[in-house]
Amino acid sequence: MSGKTLDNLSTETREFAPPEGFSAQANLSAAAYAEASADRLAFWAEQARRLAWDTEWDQVLDWSDAPFAKWFVGGRLNVAYNCVDRHVEAGLGERVALHWEGEPGDTRTVTYGQLRDMVCQAANGLAFLGLRAGDRVAIQMPMLVEAIVAMLACARLGLVHSVVFGGFSPAALQSRINDAQARVLITSDGQYRRGEAVPMKNLTDEATAQTPSIEHVVVVRRTGAEVDWVPDRDVWWHDLVDDQPTTHEAEAFDSEHPLFILYTSGTTGKPKGILHTSGGYLTQVAYTHHAVFDLKPDTDVYWCTADIGWVTGHSYIVYGPLANAATQVVYEGTPNTPHQGRHFEIIAKYGVTIYYTAPTLIRTFMKWGTDNPAAHDLSSLRLLGSVGEPINPEAWVWYRTHIGGERCPVVDTWWQTETGAIMISPLPGVTKTKPGSAQVPLPGISAQVVDDTGTEVPHGSGGYLVLTEPWPGMLRGIWGDPDRFKETYWSRYAEQGYYFAGDGAKYDNDGHIWLLGRVDDVMNVSGHRISTTEVESALVSHPTVAEAAVVGASDPTTGQGIVAFVIPRGKAATDRDTHITTLRNHVAQEIGAIAKPRQILIVEELPKTRSGKIMRRLLRDIAENRELGDTTTLADQTVMNLITEGLSNQK
């Protein structure tokens, strides 16, 4: 939480009232807040009725074993049936579910009727492999229609999917497969990235070299790349799925049946497998997608630019929009392929009305210039959303002006992998929006900013964000590690029973919430969570590194950039630049390209406290070219001089 951010934010006073016409037609009015606070559980029960239940619940919330929640206890439903079949049964089989746009320009249009057939076929295929409800399936795939179909097919069978972002390394995939003991991996031969076909299956083969639980690898053909083949283990998606019947009886599962595991970085090196279940999760993603994006399923064309490898892709590409029978755009590639106007071209082509993206991309668009959005007809847009990190007021205003034509409400949505769905956000027809603030908990959600003792801070003050009441989409645990679940989220405010989000926040004078970034050792790089420890472990796993300390330094485009301080082991065998390149590539190999340090500084010492804790705060001062803060707790007062002198010699 840097002081700089705080100061910038406290001088921000602009406000934008919802356009009148928008409020008049909005899905939610201010009455929703009153309704939810009058009877929170009744409000959530009403939201759960957005779904089709096979058996209705007999208790909305069981919190008797807190912090392990049970929502809609006794209820039974099938998640895939809710996202697909019921819309077809309601006569919407011809409605487009997915306008899929490949990076090279190939396209696919998938109606809800076709999606149902595809999901049924895939479910039959996975069942043929011997998978049974509760089994885990890993998915590492680019943004293909089959990726969405695979997730829904898992949901249909009660299989627990674990989607691993396509940019993660074989080592990262391997540890996730092993942690979840996945029986099957679904992947593709390759993927298109920045105009090139790059391999995928060859990388997943590296991962599956040491994953004894994997029985089969199912491979979607995308690029036509040559792949190695393990007979009896590997099977082409089209061979497994294409001849399967297009009908499949969807079994109802318990409301608390596990739906997916999604790994996210924590403060230690080992990623946490965040566990989500069925009824409560689907209720909250459907409700929030309706409320925050004001979705009108008959007329809107919705586009969330996230990747399915992140929670935003799970909740706001797959489960929320499909539960609401939305028509959406799914884009496979990078935003500047083949040119920097690609997103705007897609918005114009499909008449996108709702666009949901991340601050890092908005800042990149700013860098690329206003000519790109100006060259395309963006008049179809009526609502803009932001997610992933605090959005700077300037980026927010640029987004509203140059993409939203000054007419679209902007919703800054705060939530986490752990929360499953949006928690804090303006309501587009109700809230006067403030650039840079997520503002108010949604109806049904209880959040506060508190101090160290758990006491709510007064308006105008800062502290930590907590969630004070359980919510339906909340994580149900960390896969295989109940103690870590309690310790990480519930121990800090155990007395009050609050969920500790790990974010700093402040109230403005109206009591609106401004998020100030992580307060733990988690960095946020282009909206991706990466722990400092994870990168440090990767660095010290290289034979030339004795010790490493990693900090997130503020970065104009990516929010934070990874800066590593490395003490070399022994005499360096190569020159400094080569060494640095080697180490950057090593981190990419260990974790993935997203974790590649922006900068590696070779140092002789690291600043430590007497108890041996690295003082990252001081390293951050160096990385951000600031004057050093308080150094009095350093074990060795001379160490910072040594570092700064050493670094100035390097320039």
Q: Which residues are annotated as a binding site for CoA?
A: 193-196, 312, 336, 526
Amino acid identity for residue 308 in this structure: I
Does 416 help bind ligand 6R9 (rule: CB under 6 A)? Answer: yes
Binds ligand 6R9 (CB under 6 A): choice among 135, 412, 521, 534: 412
- CA–CA dist 126, 153 (Å, integer): 8
* Contacts with 212 (C-beta within 8 Å, 6 or more apart), sequence order: none
Does 312 help bind ligand 6R9 (rule: CB under 6 A)? Answer: yes
According to CB under 6 A, which residues from 577 to 596 bind ligand 6R9? none
Does 304 help bind ligand 6R9 (rule: CB under 6 A)? Answer: no
Look-up: residue for tokens 């499949």?
248
Q: How far is CA 154 from the centre of its chain?
A: 20
Ordered DSSP codes for 172-189: HHHHHHHHHT-SEEEEES
Q: Are strands 383-387 and 410-413 parallel, antiparallel or unpaired?
A: parallel
Does 414 help bind ligand 6R9 (rule: CB under 6 A)? Answer: yes
Which residue ranges make up the annotated binding site? 193-196, 312, 336, 388-390, 412-417, 503, 518, 526, 529, 540, 542, 545
Instruction: Report the b/e string of 516-546 with b at 16+ CB within 10 A.
Output: bbbbbbbbbbbbbbbbbbbbbbbbeebebbe
Taking the least distance from each CB to ligand 6R9, the nearer of 18 and 388 is 388
Q: How far is the CB of 425 from ligand 6R9 (least distance, A)?
A: 8
Q: Indicate the helix (H) or strand (E) that contains 192.
A: strand 190-193
* Contacts with 401 (C-beta within 8 Å, 6 or more apart), sequence order: none
Q: How far is the CB of 238 from ligand 6R9 (least distance, A)?
A: 33
Does 400 help bind ligand 6R9 (rule: CB under 6 A)? Answer: no
3-class SS of residue 41: helix
What dihedral angle (degrees, nearest 10) is formed by the CA atoms of 58, 61, 62, 67? 160
Binds ligand 6R9 (CB under 6 A): choice among 200, 240, 311, 538: 311
Q: How far is the CB of 283 from ligand 6R9 (least distance, A)?
A: 18
Binds ligand 6R9 (CB under 6 A): choice among 190, 502, 559, 597: 502
According to CB under 6 A, which residues from 230 to 269 bind ligand 6R9? 264
Residue 243 Cα distances to 247, 251, 268, 561, angstroms: 12, 22, 46, 48
3-class SS of residue 488: helix
Binds ligand 6R9 (CB under 6 A): choice among 529, 596, 616, 620: 529
Taking the least distance from each CB to ligand 6R9, the nearer of 260 and 350 is 260
Taking the least distance from each CB to ligand 6R9, the nearer of 417 and 537 is 417
- Total number of residues binding ligand 6R9 (CB under 6 A)? 23
Which residue ranges make up the annotated binding site for ATP? 388-390, 412-417, 503, 518, 529
Does 503 help bind ligand 6R9 (rule: CB under 6 A)? Answer: yes
Phi, psi of 54 (to 5 degrees): -75, -40
Binding mask 431-470 for ligand 6R9 (x = CB under 6 A): -------x--------------------------------
Q: Are 591 and 170 in contact (CB under 8 A)?
A: no
Binds ligand 6R9 (CB under 6 A): choice among 518, 542, 596, 608: 518
Q: Residues, the chain, total?
A: 651
- Identify the DSSP state of 441: B
Which residue ranges make up the annotated binding site for Mg(2+)? 540, 542, 545
Task: Tell me which residues touch ligand 6R9 (CB under 6 A).
Answer: 264, 310-312, 387-390, 412-417, 438, 501-503, 515, 518, 524, 527, 529
